[in-house]
Amino acid sequence: MFGRLRDRLAINPPYVGLVADGYDSWIPVDDVWSEDPWYERLVERADGPVLELGCGTGRPLLRWLAAGHDVEGVDASADMLAILHRHADELGLAPVVHHGDFAPLALGRTYAAIVCPAGTFTLIDDADRAAEAVASYVRHLRPGGTLAVSLYGPEMGGRPLTWRLRRTGTTADGRTIVVHEAVHHDAGTHLQVAYNRVEAYDADGHLQDTWLRRHHLRLWPRPDAEALFTEAGLTDVHSTGLDAAWITTGRRP
């Protein structure tokens, strides 16, 4: 079945339209994740501005900004950033966010810390491009600055490419947006292929729209992630967390 699903769908398409609206309902901007306290301590200790890679709709960037921290964000999706600005307006905040790619990063300034929560870095599915991206982060760090990236291991068990309910959420205008997902993990390449069927229903349960998407996620075993950081010139490289999910950090000399 996996062979029959090799098609012309775009790989890792941007989070736009229905998907951006769905993301905002699946993961509310005020949602708190288990990794958040760790990142909050890093942001609080940073001796200068902090950049969040893949800031999306503003979770957790807006919470850090509301606490008085000097933070900026970058994201490739204009639709996600539009939602971020809407939440910021509701909170009376004025975030500095950049619309653009972060693999590689090219913002023309440096930061005391660069962070990538929520496993967003895994969307960089090519190993060479990932190495280029980390090298660009090092160039954007001030001497002594910290890079911190959330990573996770593959989900084991279950039948590959079997559809399962992944997420549901209801938007402010009353639509229910549902995601079914089918996943295949290649242990040899550390590549995870995920198909997402995103569906929007009105308040009466009638299907309004449906999108089929394909994502390739590169899952980095801890030793490989740490080697990636070390080869980019970072020091004090280590990982914090469980085998299933952790944060790899390094410091620019």
pLDDT tens-digit series, residues 135-178: 999 999 999 999 999 999 876 555 678 899 999 999 999 999 99
Q: Which residues pair with 160 in a beta bridge?
A: none
- Positions in the chain whose pLDDT score sits under 70: 1-6, 155-159
The reported pLDDT for the residue numbered 161 is: 82
Residues in the chain: 253
- How many CA atoms are closer than 13 Å to the CA of 215, on its beta-carbon side? 21
The reported pLDDT for the residue numbered 9 is: 87
Q: What is the DSSP letter of 128?
A: H
Q: Are strands 245-251 and 141-152 parallel, antiparallel or unpaired?
A: antiparallel
pLDDT tens-digit series, residues 220-248: 999 999 999 999 999 999 999 988 899 99
The reported pLDDT for the residue numbered 178 is: 98
Mean pLDDT, the chain, integer: 94
User: Which amino acid makes up residue 46?
Assistant: A
Q: Is the separation of the CB atoms in 130 and 124 below 8 Å?
A: yes
Put the strands of the sheet holding 191-201 in their side by side order: 164-170, 176-186, 191-201, 207-218
* Nearest C-alpha neighbor of 93 from the set 73, 118, 113, 110: 73
The reported pLDDT for the residue numbered 118 is: 95
C-alpha 78: how far from chain center? 15
Compute the distance between CA of residue 162 and CA of residue 228 in angstroms, rounded to an integer: 32
The reported pLDDT for the residue numbered 189 is: 86
Q: CB neighbours of 11 closer than 8 A, spacing ≥ 6?
A: 125, 214, 215, 216
The reported pLDDT for the residue numbered 183 is: 92
Q: Exposed, middle or buried: residue 165 (CB in 10 Å: 0-12, 13-18, 19+)?
A: exposed
Q: Which residues pair with 75 in a beta bridge?
A: 99
Compute the distance between CA of residue 42 and CA of residue 36 in angstroms, rounded to an integer: 10
The reported pLDDT for the residue numbered 107 is: 97
First to last CA, the chain: 49
